[in-house]
Structure 1
Amino acid sequence: MKPATASTAALASGVASRVAAARVLDAVLHKGRSLKGELATALPALADPRDRALVEAIVFAALRQRAGYDAALAAWLPKPLGQRDAPLRALLHAGFAQLDALALPAHAAVASTVDAARAIGRTHQAALVNALLRRAQREGLPAGDPSAAWPPWLLAQLRRDWPGDADAILRASVEPGPLWLRVNTQQGSVAALQAQLAESRIEASTTPLCPQALRIDAPVPVSALPGFADGALSVQDGSAQLVADALSPSPGARVLDACAAPGGKAAHLLERDPTMRLLALDVDPARLRQIGATFARLALGATAALRQADAADVGAWWDGRPFDAILLDAPCSATGVVRRQPDILLHRREADIGALCRTQSRLLDALWPTLAPGGTLLYATCSILRCENDAQVAAFLARRPDAAIEPLDARFGRRMRQADREQGSQRLPGEDGMDGFFYARLRKG
């Protein structure tokens, strides 16, 4: 390929990446679409994995920092952008993210973003895009208040629940988390995978908190991880990996994963004990297929069964044989993973919390009779809202005299108590580099 042709192709690729990022941001910010769903459509359309990684990086950075970028636009524009200019606002957020959070070379970032304005039909505003990005380059972007991105009702609840920790939670919500890997010890050791990553110039560290984990602090595309396609490792945050330790079923146990998709926690349990007799449920057939794909990639599931069902509708799926252990990773507000799913703050509604709490109660009450006496149920969420966590457990313990809570050690976060009674353990976002997560280990008498 001639140099001029290569340069032209690279320019076109750069513009296409910015257009894709702006369109994803427009859909998420202004049309109420799911970030995960939009990326699932946008990324496969880009042939080069570097372009896919760039789009993902731009979108996540822009969403995490959107409060600061909106503040810049409010300060620098003579009048606010209207609804018709929503695509332009999304493109400007993408441009700011490149210069600010990602610190990309300014010339390429500005030129490609200005060309992207023309590509999305905003030729008449290309000069404005250029001027605003050049100003951001010269002056820097104002530091945004991370609390500004939170809906007022959710911010108020956060401050009520965590008066001494709210500011740290807010700061953690705008910082990208490390990449956590779980090593499939059925295929190799943690040390061997760490060495293999080092050969690919990927630095990964171990932690005594999670025996199968490797932590990577520098961004790395999953496609660049040696062994991923072959099932040697999975991407799973450290807080989610701790679920297997919290449940800790006996070898060969009969185990239920009641809300199993996408299958990471069930796979972890099977990696620990391939003789486990596992039933994985999910109400969504597409998500159930995702579990099957996860098991297939990891060469697991010989003793596992998958079934589409609403876990709370016990009569429709339970055969009457009690389980030795149950994992209830309950539907929740996901407020502990905002840094990984920043669109949560755009889509969550105050009425959702009450509905989620009712679903959690319904699942706990429905599943408890399927647990054998002496068995263990682990109630877990990726929430930091106390109404979904320790308050939910306190209410369940009050309803069920045959239920007792077993305290977990310091690896699982701070122990939550009311009236000197244990009600689970809570990790807050960013602690030990992990996501926010709640664990309550319940024993049946």
Structure 2
Amino acid sequence: MTDRPGHRRAPARARDGGHRRPAPLAPDSLAMSLSLAGQLVAAVVEGKALTEQLAHSRRRHTAPDINWGAVQDLTYGTLRDYGRGDAVLGQFLQKPLPAALHGVLLVAFHRLEQRHDQAHTIVDQAVSAAASLAPGLKGVVNGVLRNILRRFDALVTRLDATPETRLRHPDWWIRRLRASYPDDWEAILAAGNQHPPMALRVNRRRLTPEAGLARLAEAGIAARLLDNGALCLERACPVDQIPGFFTGDFSVQDAGAQWAARWLAPRDGERILDACAAPGGKTAHLLELADVDLTALELDPARATRIEENLERLGLSARIEVADCADLERWWDGRPFDRILADVPCSASGVVRRHPDIKWLRRNTDIPRFAAQQASLLDALWRTLAPGGTMLYVTCSVFDEENRSQIARFCARHADAIRMAIDNQIERIVLPGADHDGFYYALLQKHR
């Protein structure tokens, strides 16, 4: 990978520690959590998606005592701290280490920054993790970490003097946000480094938001009612603790995403398309608000199955099609839609705290490619919209090229596109904050 401070890609002959037998780790130990997290971080650095790698790791390591919560916290925290560990390790490693061992060092440095008062334990457990992966190199890991500790304050001071490592985002990412949001760019970056909030959506066919809030209070779950009816939990909890979740009274959905159905404003009897619909949260929300004839499109068959599962839990139904929404001949019957939700693929820069691997995997050159794909999808979907119908354009991006500039270019191409106000504003930019992730919304009407 490139454009990360201090990064060295390990060549094929990186040291592997010889052929000593790896030392076993106690499943519930910090060493095991460091080892598994290090392997996950290494996989992301090599270009693999975190969600898939985490699922693979859980299938591979089945010991019941593994603390997967700790593994996930360490992995996500290390990835949120984009580039800091790499910048430090680059000063101490003269030769490349095996990828998993490099990952353990990255995780250990993250842990040292978070809990410096536990430095002795962290170093000891990181060395044990190294011994389980490459026994011959545990001395290298021990030496690197102890050298880091000796110079710790100076290293952190140096990291905090560089924008990329202080703000924990790639330099190109910082430049884009600074240009688009001169007053808010630092707050956006800070939000991207935080733990994400957990919000619930109330099934309006069964409960009001106020009744849902009372149900949660009875179960000892503290929450706040937000302006759009979302319930933001004071502390995240497993869904099996949420009363009525499995019977369809509640769904987990970010509060910022819950504006979509409200701003599309479905009405009974309308024909509606939810393009790029997986995992189905917005599909379900639309069906909870009105009795509509809804088609949900999804390109990935596995993700389409998730739409079906979510609707079944909620007692809802829709026509689910597995197809590329731009390939109209494959799925469209020629009957126009009254409303379209165009929640298009994007950089996901507005939800980076939920998917911190994005900061490692995205490149500046990816953004124009996303924008071109979005333009193609919008042009195709516009053909399926009835005259007088409305289309809500949605991204979970905070980059202008995918949002405001995208809609400006679309309107320039389509003379029959009319910008509609959303709650008295021509567009809605929902910046990431304490209660929600980042989203962009624009409402378009096709001239009759």
Return the TM-score normalized by structure 2: 0.83
How many angstroms apart in 1 are the aligned matches of 2:269 and 2:114?
48
| Greater mean alpha carbon deviation, residues 14-23 or residues 358-367 | 14-23
Q: Which structure 2 residues correspond to residues 18-417 of structure 1 after superposition, within 5 A?
A: 18-29=34-45, 31-44=46-59, 45-46=61-62, 48=64, 51-74=67-90, 79-80=92-93, 82-101=95-114, 109-122=122-135, 124-125=137-138, 128-129=141-142, 132=145, 142=156, 144=160, 147-148=164-165, 149-198=168-217, 201-208=220-227, 210-211=228-229, 213-222=230-239, 224-273=241-290, 275-301=291-317, 304-409=318-423
Seen in structure 2, the aligned counterparts of structure 1 residues 108 and 293 have a Cα distance that, compared at 3 Å, is farther
1:20-43 Cα shifts (integer Å, max 9, x gaps): 2111111012x1110111112223
Other-structure match for 1:436: 438
| Greater mean alpha carbon deviation, residues 239-248 or residues 153-162 | 153-162
SS of 2:97's equivalent in the other structure is helix
1:236-286 Cα shifts (integer Å, max 9, x gaps): 21111111111111123210011111111111111222x221100111212
CA drift of 1:107 comes to 6.9
How many angstroms apart in 2 are the aligned matches of 1:111 and 1:377?
57
C-alpha contact (below 8 Å) 2:177/2:185 kept by paired residues: yes
CA drift of 1:328 comes to 0.3
1:281-327 Cα shifts (integer Å, max 9, x gaps): 111212211211221222221xx100111111112211121111000
Seen in structure 2, the aligned counterparts of structure 1 residues 312 and 109 have a Cα distance that, compared at 3 Å, is same
Query: Which letter does structure 2 place at the counterpart of 1:263?
Result: G
SS of 2:353's equivalent in the other structure is coil
How many angstroms apart in 1 are the aligned matches of 2:372 and 2:409?
12
SS of 1:383's equivalent in the other structure is coil
Other-structure match for 1:3: none
C-alpha contact (below 8 Å) 1:96/1:133 kept by paired residues: no
Structure 1: runs of 5+ lacking an equivalent: 1-8, 416-421
Return the TM-score normalized by structure 1: 0.83
CA drift of 1:225 comes to 4.1
Query: Which letter does structure 1 place at the counterpart of 2:279?
Result: P
SS of 2:297's equivalent in the other structure is strand
How many angstroms apart in 1 are the aligned matches of 2:150 and 2:209?
43
How many angstroms apart in 2 are the aligned matches of 1:231 and 1:137?
55
Query: Which letter does structure 2 place at the counterpart of 1:440?
Result: A
Seen in structure 2, the aligned counterparts of structure 1 residues 137 and 42 have a Cα distance that, compared at 3 Å, is farther
How many angstroms apart in 2 are the aligned matches of 1:49 and 1:291?
32
C-alpha contact (below 8 Å) 2:44/2:361 kept by paired residues: no
How many angstroms apart in 2 are the aligned matches of 1:310 and 1:324?
20
1:318-340 Cα shifts (integer Å, max 9, x gaps): 11211110000011111111221
> How many residue pairs were aligned?
416
CA drift of 1:195 comes to 4.4
How many angstroms apart in 2 are the aligned matches of 1:82 and 1:288?
46
SS of 2:277's equivalent in the other structure is coil
Identity %, equivalent residues: 40
